[in-house]
Amino acid sequence: MLEFLPKDVREGLEAARKKELKRKSRLRVEVGNAVYPVLRFWHDGFALDADLSPGKLRGLVDVYDGSRHVFQCLIVASSIENGELVCDFKRATAVTDRAPLDFWRNENAPVAYLPKA
């Protein structure tokens, strides 16, 4: 249906759609010192604005929600589709504020031991 509209109207509609997606999303991708807003995010990938991002993106990137570090993603493929840089990642590791345990912790275990009197 959009192919019957004049070119400038189609471009205006596309620009408005991208602006709305950027406004809704707080997610951003950090690659080195560069920061790119995320338009869409799904379980094994995300989309960036192709005009603002590099042509291809691969490797380890950090995903932030506002100022909170959320994921570290390993991008294995990226392609440009409909004005978006679509990135597929192999893994998305959730970032935590403490080191992972290397042992099983019993939920009924005591919190601390009292010394002998």
Helix (H, G, I), strand (E, B) or coil at 89: strand
Is residue 32, in this structure, part of any structural domain at all? yes
For residue 86, which amino acid is it? V
Is residue 111, in this structure, part of any structural domain at all? no
Is residue 81, in this structure, part of any structural domain at all? yes
For residue 65, what are the domain limits?
26-94
Backbone angles phi, psi at 23, to 5 degrees: -70, -40
Could you say which DSSP state residue 56 is in? -
Is residue 34, in this structure, part of any structural domain at all? yes
Helix (H, G, I), strand (E, B) or coil at 71: strand
Domain count of the chain? Answer: 1
Who's near 61: CB < 8 A, 6+ residues apart?
Answer: 29, 30, 31, 72, 73, 75
Q: What is the residue-level pLDDT of the chain in tens, covering all 117 positions?
A: 556 778 887 877 777 776 766 566 688 999 888 899 888 889 889 999 888 888 788 899 999 988 899 999 999 998 998 888 999 999 998 888 888 778 888 888 887 877 876
Q: What's 82's domain CATH number?
A: 2.40.10
This prediction has a pTM of 0.66
